[in-house]
């Protein structure tokens, strides 16, 4: 997978924010000044029990990076018409 800098990210890009089973994030918002990643995760300790079923709550996390941040991410998928 290619690595991309924060300055190269676009809305809809799917990246690996960090290594691990819940490290995948989606670029939710991108402006000239910052980029916000959205990452769902299933490690919240909340559960609901009803009708002999267990439902695990899923949490979400938003992380914002300045466009000039030095961070790089592995790019899983980019869905833009120009392919860039």
Looking at residue 83, its pLDDT comes to 52
Q: Which residues of 28-61 are buried (b: 16+ CB within 10 A; e: fewer)?
A: bebeeeebbbebeeeeeeeeeeeeeeeeeeeeee
| Per-residue tokens: 23 | 């490290």
pLDDT, residue 41, reads: 74
Query: What does DSSP assign to residue 55?
Result: E
Residue 23 sits at φ, ψ, to 5 deg, of -90, -5
Closest CA to 27 of 64, 69, 2: 64
Positive or negative, the CA dihedral 59, 22, 12, 67 is positive
84 residues of the chain, pLDDT tens digit each: 799 999 999 999 999 998 877 889 999 999 999 999 998 876 556 667 777 777 766 778 899 999 999 999 999 998 765 655
């Amino acid at each position: 997978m290619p690595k991309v800098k924060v300055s190269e990210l676009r809305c809809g890009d799917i990246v690996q924010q960090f290594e691990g089973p819940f490290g995948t994030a989606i670029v939710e918002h991108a402006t000239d000044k910052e980029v916000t990643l959205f990452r769902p995760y299933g490690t919240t300790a909340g559960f609901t029990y009803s009708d002999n079923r267990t439902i695990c709550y899923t949490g979400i996390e938003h992380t914002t990076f300045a466009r000039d941040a030095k961070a790089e991410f592995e790019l899983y998928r980019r869905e833009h018409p120009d392919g860039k």
